[in-house]
Structures are given as C-alpha cells and as structure tokens.
Amino acid sequence: MPSAGDNYVVKVKPSHIDWGEYRNPTNREPIEGESYVKIPSQYARKYEIRRGDLFTAHFANGYPSMQIKAAGNGPYENGVQYAKQFEGIGRGACKAFTPWYQSCGVVVGDQIKVEFTSSNEIVFSKL
C-alpha cells in the first residue's frame, strides 16, 4: 500500500479524458463522459496498488471528495493483479473524474499529480 508522500505525475492523454470514445468499439457503443486517472505500471508495482483497492480522493482545487477504486487489468505478477487506473465506484464509475477534469479545464497534454496522504487517501492536482 502507498505511504504518505508517495506520488507520481501523469501526462493526460486523449483516452484519459474521453475514455468512452476510445474503448474497444467492438464490445459496446461509445459512451460520452467517461474518464479515469492513469496509474503507470511502475507506480502500481512500487506502491503495491492492486486492482480493487479503495481510496478517498481529495482535490487540490476544492472539488468535493469522493470514494474511488483502483481498477483495470494492469500487470499480473506473483499472483497479484495490479491496477492501471483510478475510477469511481458503482454505476457510472468511469464518469466519476469527468466533472473534476472539467472543473479544472484539463486538456490533453496537462499534467496531473497524484499524491498519497495516507495508505488510503489521495490528493489529485492539475499542475
């Protein structure tokens, strides 16, 4: 699990802010408004962020906190399925970050800092 002070920065790509349009179009229709925050493989391993881990997300710009989970099929090693993204929980999970991205005016090429303040709390900031 992550520790207070652990962090990483991710550069926003088109799929991060418009995932519903970039997902595999052969298994479902595109869905507008889906997004996520990437967890690069090296940080998933380093901080032991596993698929299904739950966190409280806080936002540097004052956007309301919310519960999120680590999700996706990241690297699978030694019986551990690491996560590849943060998303919401439950119905509409892939739409949880979209309002925050919009509140910050995030566009492709921006950078997002992901900073752990404890083993289960994270602050997200647009740099």
3-state secondary structure at position 63: coil
3-state secondary structure at position 115: strand
Is the CA virtual torsion 8, 46, 93, 33 positive or negative? positive
Over residues 4-44, the pLDDT tens digits come to 999 999 999 998 898 776 665 566 677 788 899 999 999 99
Closest CA to 42 of 88, 9, 78, 87: 9
* Banded model confidence at residue 83, pLDDT cuts 50, 70, 90: very high
3-state secondary structure at position 59: strand
Over residues 89-117, the pLDDT tens digits come to 998 888 999 999 999 999 999 999 999 99
3-state secondary structure at position 25: coil
Provide the terminal-to-terminal Cα distance of the chain, rounded to the nearest Å. Answer: 24
Single pTM value for the model: 0.91
Domains of the chain: 7-126 (2.40.330.10)
